[in-house]
Amino acid sequence: MNREQLAAAAPAWIQIEAFPAQTQLDMLAMWVEAIMDAIEHDHLEPDTWEALYLSHAIGALVEGKYFAALSFAEMVLIDPASHRLPRLHPDGPMPVTLADLRDAMTLIRARPARGGEEMSE
């Protein structure tokens, strides 16, 4: 996965926040899906770090927390050498596949957007 290229293509919040909630959702959903496509093209399934932050990004999209979704999706693109393994359940992480994540994105796209959020200064 070309992390630098994906990071460069990331939408900037200052551009996104000017749009209505549905457009914000659509723009961010497309970007999260582009990240998933890159993972699939590169190595088929997300590693623990990628799955964790993609899941958080998708959850934030569901809640209408679009700035958080953008931030979580950006975490996926951090160089793997810099990943710090999350503290996990003693039995290990629950496996999250791209199919699971894509199913979640399908459900998100079928719902109307939530109100979005204002970025406080």
Query: Average pLDDT, stretch 29-53?
Result: 89
Q: What is the pLDDT of residue 66?
A: 93
Please state the pTM of the whole predicted model.
0.76
The separation between CA 90 and the C-alpha centre of its own chain, rounded to angstroms, equals 25
Question: Which H helix or E strand runs over 79?
Answer: none
pLDDT level of residue 89 (50, 70, 90 thresholds): low
Q: Is the pLDDT of residue 121 over 50?
A: no
pLDDT at 46 over 70: yes
- Rounded to whole angstroms, the Cα distance separating 17 from 43 reads 33
Region 1-24 average pLDDT = 89
Q: In whole angstroms, how far apart are CA 107 and each of 2, 53, 60, 87, 101?
A: 27, 18, 13, 28, 10
Report the Cα 62 to chain-centroid distance in Å: 11
Percent of the chain with pLDDT over 70: 86
**pLDDT level of residue 58 (50, 70, 90 thresholds):** very high
